[in-house]
Amino acid sequence: MPLPIEDAPIHLLLVDDHRDIRETLARYLDRHGLRVSTAEDAAAARRILRTAAPDLVVLDIMMPGEDGLSLCRHLRETTELPIIFLTALGEFTDRVIGLEMGADDYVPKPFEPRELLARIKAVMRRSRSLPADPARRRGESQRVAFDGWVLDLGRRELTGSDGVAVSLSTSEYLMLEAFVRHPGIVLSRDQLLDLTKGRTADAFDRSIDNQVSRLRRKVEADPRNPSLIKTVWGGGYCFAASVSELP
In tens, the pLDDT along 191-223 reads 888 777 644 434 444 578 888 999 999 999 999
Phi-psi region of 200 (alpha: psi -120 to 50; beta: other; left: phi over 0): beta
Weakly modelled stretches of the chain, pLDDT under 70: 1-8, 89-96, 98-100, 128-141, 197-206
C-alpha distances out from residue 71 to 24, 169, 229, Å: 23, 25, 34
Question: By the 8 A CB rule, do 214 and 196 touch?
Answer: no
pTM of the model: 0.58
* Fold assignment, 11-129: Rossmann fold (3.40.50)
The structural domains of the chain, with segments of one domain joined by +, span: 11-129, 134-246
Q: Is the dihedral of CA 162, 154, 126, 20 positive or negative?
A: negative
Closest CA to 105 of 70, 59, 67, 62: 59
Which residues, in sequence order, are CB contacts of 171 under 8 Å at separation 6+? 196, 198, 211, 214
Q: Report d(CA 148, CA 159) in Å as an integer.
A: 9
**CATH level 2 (architecture), domain 134-246:** Orthogonal Bundle (1.10)
- The pairing of strands 83-88 and 105-109 is parallel
